[in-house]
Amino acid sequence: MTDKEFFKVTSLGAVLELTRTFPCVSEEVLPLDQCVSRILCRDIVSSIDLPEFNRATMDGYAVQARSTFGVSESVPAFLNIVGTVEMGQEPAVPVKAGEAVRIATGGMLPDGADSVVMLEHAQALDEHTLEVFKSAAPLQHVMEIGEDFRNGQKILSKGSRVRPQEMGVLAALGETHVPVYRQPVVTIISSGDEIVPIEQTPGLCQLRDVNAYTLASLVRMSGGVSLYLGIARDNFADLHSLCKNAVGQADMVLISGGSSVGSRDFTLEVIKGLPDAEILVHGVSISPGKPTILARSRQKAIWGLPGQVASAMVVFHVMVRPMLEWIAGVSEDRSGATHEVSAVLSRNLASVQGRDDYVRVRLVRRENRVYAEPILGKSGLISTMVKADGLVRIDMNSEGLVKGTPVRVILF
Amino acid sequence: MTDKEFFKVTSLGAVLELTRTFPCVSEEVLPLDQCVSRILCRDIVSSIDLPEFNRATMDGYAVQARSTFGVSESVPAFLNIVGTVEMGQEPAVPVKAGEAVRIATGGMLPDGADSVVMLEHAQALDEHTLEVFKSAAPLQHVMEIGEDFRNGQKILSKGSRVRPQEMGVLAALGETHVPVYRQPVVTIISSGDEIVPIEQTPGLCQLRDVNAYTLASLVRMSGGVSLYLGIARDNFADLHSLCKNAVGQADMVLISGGSSVGSRDFTLEVIKGLPDAEILVHGVSISPGKPTILARSRQKAIWGLPGQVASAMVVFHVMVRPMLEWIAGVSEDRSGATHEVSAVLSRNLASVQGRDDYVRVRLVRRENRVYAEPILGKSGLISTMVKADGLVRIDMNSEGLVKGTPVRVILF
C-alpha cells in the first residue's frame, strides 16, 4: 500500500463514450415465443396488409352509408335484411342500396357495404326488416384494409426491444422465427481473501459473497446471461486463471472486490496480464464508485467494481447497464427509457463539486406528484439500497440540488 | 344475435375489489439464485449483526481518534505504526493511544481503535512513524457492528419483490433457500372460427392468433407462467373442453375472442357450465375493454377478454395484471409501483362521461419534464400500441383532461 496514491479519474461521460468502442454481440434466429424482451437485429417490414380485409369493429349491420343519410329517431330508414356474415367466412351476399346484412365484430364487410350501423342505432322489426334511426357515416365502425400496417411498410426497428405488442405484430405477420441479438454473457468473479461462499458461516473478519448475487441479478434483469465463476483469492495465479477463463467465454467480465488501493493495484496487474489487455479507465469521478476499472482484452470488456455491495450496484446502474444494453444491440434512443422516472426532490441535497454524486432515493406519491426522498446512510450499507427505489444524480458541476428541483430517478 | 342487447356494466373499482376475493397462490422454497423477481411469502428477520465486526470503509490507518484531536497541517501528530491488518484475518495487535495500524477498506478494526485516518490525511515518514495532519472524528470511516442490520431485526417484508439488493441481503444472511410464493400459472385460450395459428397463412376473412402471443408475453412479464392451450372453435364442446382443462391446471384462465354479442353469450354459456361456476362481471365501464367477463370456477379466476388485440392488452394492464399481482402475493403498497410514471399531458383530451377512458400515449422528454403525447387511432389497431409507451386514464366522472394536467402513465 503506497501512501497518498491518488489515481487519475475519468469523467462518467468519457467512460460511457469508451464503452461505445466495444462491438455488439452476434445474432441468432429464435422461435417467436422465445423473443419477449429480446432486441431485434433487423428492421421488420410488413409482407401483408393488416387487416387483409375490411373488418367490422362493432356488432351491427353492414350497409351502404348513403342508405341511412338524413335518418333520425323521428324519420327512420327501413332496410331489407338480406343475410348474415359468418365469422371467418366470406360474406355470401353483397349489400345494395336499401339493404343490410347482419355482422359481428371482426366480420368481413360484404361487397357494396361501406359502413356498420351499431345494434344500438337500429331495430329489427322482423326477420327481413330493419329500422335504422341514426345516420351512419362512411367507414364508421370499419377497419379498412391496411389500416394497421401496409404491405412493404417498416413496422419495427432494428435495436428495439420486443414488448408484448411487438410480439403481437410479429404474430400477425406470421413471423414464426425472428432474427434477434444474442443475449450478452457476463461472467462474474468475486475477489478477496475475506470473502466466503454464502452457504459458509463467515469466520470473524470474513464476509459472505454478496456481490455474486446482486451482480448476477442485475445482469439478468438487464437482459444478460450471468455466469458466476467463483471467488478468487488475493493471489495472482488464482485471479489470473479465473479472469482468463472468464474472457474466453463471456462478452463482459465483472470482477468485484479490491476496493482498497492494494487489491486494486493487484487486480490491475492481473488484467494487464490478459491477452491484448488495455486499461481504459482507472478511477471514475463519481461517488460512490470512484475505484472502478474498465479494461479491454480481445474486444471483451472487463470491469473492476468496488467490493462494497452498494457501491458496486451504483456503478452497475450508472455505467455497466448502459454498456450492457449497448453491446446487446439496444438502439440509443430507446436505451434507459424504461428505467427512469421523473420526480421532485423533497429536500435540499449538498454535494461535492468535481464528481457526480449518486444519492439513493425513495419515491413517495402525494396527489399527482412523485417526490424523491433522499435516504441517508453510508454508501456501503445495503440496507439503504433496500429502502431505496432509485438513484438521483447530482452533476459534478453542481454544489447540490435544492428542494423542489425536478429530477430524473434511475429506478432499481 | 339479439338486437339492442345491452349488458349491465360494472365499474373498474368494483371489478378490482372482486379480484381481491380470490386466494393467493401456495408457497415453495427455492435456492436463492432462482429468487430474483419472486415474491417473499414470509418476513425475513436477520439472524446476525451485519456487519459482524467493525469494518474500515477507507484505506488508511486505524487509530484512537483522540490521538489526532487538535492536529492540523501546521501542527501534525506523530503516531507509531505498530502493524498491518490483513484482510480476512483478525488484527494481530491492538491500537493504543499514539499508535496506528495500517488497514484497507473492509478490514477489521483492531481492539482499541475507533477511527480510520484516510491515506490522504497522513504520511508515513518511515516504516514506523506516521505523520497525521487532520484530526479524525470517532467512528470516522468505520462501519460499526450491526450498522446495516441488527440481529433480530425484520429486514424484508412478506409480499415484497426480491430485487438485486434483496438478493444481496439474503446472501449476506446466508439464506441459501428462500420461502417464496409460487408463480401463478395462467392458461390462455383463443376462441373464434376466424382465428388460425400463426404459422398458417390466413384465408380471406381469417386472422392469425395474435392474442396468444401478446397475452402470453404480458403474463410472463407480470411474473406469471403462461400456458397456451390453443384455439377453440365457436362450438360449445370445443370451448368447454379447453376451459375445463384450463381450470384444472391453472390459477387463472384467459379466454380471448368473442367480442361480439353472439360469441360473448356463447363464452358465458360455456363458463356457466364449468364446475361451481359463478359469473362475477359481465361488462366493465371502461373503454376500450367494455365486453370483459370475470368469472370464478373452483376459486380459479376466468377472464373473458375482448378479441381485438389492443383492447385485450388494455384490459390486461388495467385489470388482469393487478389481479395477477394480487394472487401472486404482492403486498398492496408495492403493487404497481414499478410500472407507473408521472407525466404532463401534451394536449387536451375529450372523453365520454360514465366510463373510464384509457388513452395510449407516447412519453416525450423535454428538459427535465416528461410529456404524455396521446396517440390517435382506432382501439383495434395494434400499430397504436407499438407506437405507445403507456396508458393514461380519464376518469369516468370527467369530461376530459386539459393540456398541462399532471397524469399517471401505466407503462407497457
| B239-258 average pLDDT score | 93
CB-based contact B186:B250 (threshold 8 Å): yes
Residue with cell 504520511: B123
Please return the burial class of B271, using the count of CB atoms within 10 Å of its CB with bins 0-12, 13-18 and 19+: buried
Check pLDDT > 60 for residue B6: no
Amino acid at residue number A236: F
Which of A164, A338, A368 is the closest to B342 by Cβ?
Answer: A368
- How far is the C-alpha of A389 from the C-alpha of A410, rounded, in Å? 8
- How far is the C-alpha of A328 from the C-alpha of A322, rounded, in Å? 10
CB-based contact B199:B209 (threshold 8 Å): no
| B3–A261 CB contact, under 8 Å | no
Between A260 and A159, the more confident residue is A159
Phi-psi region of A299 (alpha: psi -120 to 50; beta: other; left: phi over 0): left
Of A139-143, B130-134, B203-207, the poorest mean pLDDT is in: B203-207
Q: What share of chain A is helix, strand, coil (3-state, %, to 5)?
A: 20, 35, 45
| A87–B199 CB contact, under 8 Å | no
Between β-strands B369-374 and B400-401, what pairing exists: parallel, antiparallel or unpaired?
unpaired
pLDDT of residue B286: 95
Which of A176, A259, A342 is the closest to B368 by Cβ?
Answer: A342
Grid cell listed for B284: 366493465
Alpha helices in A273-316 (DSSP H): 309-315
| B108–A205 CB contact, under 8 Å | yes
Q: Which residue of A has its CA nearest to B177?
A: A199
Provide, as residue numbers in chain A, all residues whose Cβ is less than 8 Å from the Cβ of B55: 380
Please return the burial class of A21, using the count of CB atoms within 10 Å of its CB with bins 0-12, 13-18 and 19+: exposed
Q: How confident is the model over A67-77, as pLDDT tens digits? A: 999 999 999 99
The CATH architecture annotation of domain A12-26+184-327 reads 3-Layer(aba) Sandwich (3.40)
ipTM of the predicted structure? Answer: 0.92
Grid cell listed for A261: 488501493
Tell me the longest C-alpha to C-alpha distance in chain A.
99
Which of B148, B234, B385 is the closest to A383 by Cβ?
Answer: B148
pLDDT of residue B264: 77
| A313–B380 CB contact, under 8 Å | no
Helix axes B164-172, A210-221, angle to 10 degrees: 160
In angstroms, the separation between the Cα of residue B276 and the nearest Cα of chain A is: 30
User: What is the CATH code of the structural domain delimited by B27-50+147-181?
Assistant: 3.90.105.10
How many CB pairs below 8 Å do chains A and B form together?
A: 314
Q: How confident is the model over B266-325, as pLDDT tens digits? A: 899 999 999 999 999 999 999 999 989 999 999 999 999 998 899 999 999 999 999 999
Check pLDDT > 50 for residue A3: no
Name which of B1, B165, B305 to mutate to probe chain A: the one with the most chain A Cβ atoms within 10 A of its Cβ. B165
Provide, as residue numbers in chain A, all residues whose Cβ is less than 8 Å from the Cβ of B102: 1
Q: What is the 3-state secondary structure (H, E, C) of B22-52?
A: CCCCCEEEEEHHHCCCCEECCCEECCCCECC
Check pLDDT > 60 for residue A273: yes
| B169–A59 CB contact, under 8 Å | no
| B88–A169 CB contact, under 8 Å | no
pLDDT of residue A7: 57
Q: Return the H-helix or E-strand segment holding B322.
A: helix B321-327
The CATH architecture annotation of domain B55-143 reads Beta Complex (2.170)
Check pLDDT > 80 for residue A293: yes
In angstroms, the separation between the Cα of residue A300 and the nearest Cα of chain B is: 24
Provide, as residue numbers in chain B, all residues whose Cβ is less than 8 Å from the Cβ of A168: 210-211, 213-214, 309, 313, 382, 385
From the options 3.40.50.2000, 2.60.40.1180, 2.40.340.10, 3.40.50.300, give the CATH code of B340-411. 2.40.340.10
| B4–A120 CB contact, under 8 Å | yes
CB-based contact B34:B178 (threshold 8 Å): no
In angstroms, the separation between the Cα of residue B220 and the nearest Cα of chain A is: 9
| A90–B37 CB contact, under 8 Å | no
| A220–B36 CB contact, under 8 Å | yes
CB-based contact A62:A55 (threshold 8 Å): no
Check pLDDT > 60 for residue B4: no
* Coil/strand/helix, residue B169: helix
| B88–A143 CB contact, under 8 Å | no
pLDDT of residue B377: 78
Name which of A119, A165, A265, A352 to mutate to probe chain B: the one with the most chain B Cβ atoms within 10 A of its Cβ. A165
| B18-31 average pLDDT score | 97
Q: Is the pTM of this model over 0.90?
A: yes
Provide, as residue numbers in chain B, all residues whose Cβ is less than 8 Å from the Cβ of A194: 87-88, 106
Provide, as residue numbers in chain A, all residues whose Cβ is less than 8 Å from the Cβ of B407: 368
Q: How confident is the model over B54-102, as pLDDT tens digits? A: 999 889 999 999 999 999 999 999 999 999 999 888 999 999 999 999 9
CB-based contact A284:A290 (threshold 8 Å): yes
| A174–B412 CB contact, under 8 Å | no
Alpha helices in B20-146 (DSSP H): none
Which of A164, A218, A389 is the closest to B218 by Cβ?
Answer: A164
In angstroms, the separation between the Cα of residue A136 and the nearest Cα of chain B is: 17
| B240-266 average pLDDT score | 88
DSSP string for A182-201:
PPPEEEEEEE-TTEE-TTSP
Grid cell listed for B45: 428477520
Residue with cell 365520454: B352
> For A89, what's the count of Cα atoms within 13 Å in the CB-facing half-sphere?
10
- How far is the C-alpha of B287 from the C-alpha of B352, rounded, in Å? 9
CB-based contact B92:B102 (threshold 8 Å): no
| A174–B341 CB contact, under 8 Å | no
Which of B87, B172, B221 is the closest to A193 by Cβ?
Answer: B87
Whole-Å CA distances, A32 to A145, A327, B369: 25, 22, 36
pLDDT of residue B283: 93
Q: Which residue of A has its CA nearest to B192?
A: A87
Q: How confident is the model over A179-237, as pLDDT tens digits? A: 999 999 999 999 988 999 999 999 988 999 999 999 999 999 999 999 999 999 888 99
Provide, as residue numbers in chain B, all residues whose Cβ is less than 8 Å from the Cβ of A386: 155-156, 165-166, 169
What are the residue ranges spanned by the domains of chain A? 12-26+184-327, 27-50+147-181, 55-143, 340-411
Which of A3, A155, A411 is the closest to B124 by Cβ?
Answer: A3
- How far is the C-alpha of B404 from the C-alpha of A23, rounded, in Å? 42
How much of chain A, in percent, has pLDDT values that exceed 70? 96
Q: How confident is the model over A313-349, as pLDDT tens digits? A: 999 999 999 999 999 999 976 555 557 788 899 999 9
| B369-388 average pLDDT score | 88
Between A370 and A299, the more confident residue is A299
CB-based contact A264:A305 (threshold 8 Å): no
- How far is the C-alpha of B224 from the C-alpha of B312, rounded, in Å? 17
Provide, as residue numbers in chain A, all residues whose Cβ is less than 8 Å from the Cβ of B89: 193, 205
| A212–B369 CB contact, under 8 Å | no
Which of A203, A213, A259 is the closest to B171 by Cβ?
Answer: A213
Q: Which CATH class is domain B12-26+183-327?
A: alpha beta
Grid cell listed for A347: 429536500
Q: What is the dihedral of CA A86, A88, A93, A96, to 10 degrees?
A: 100
Count Cβ atoms below 10 Å from residue A411 Cβ, excluding itself: 17
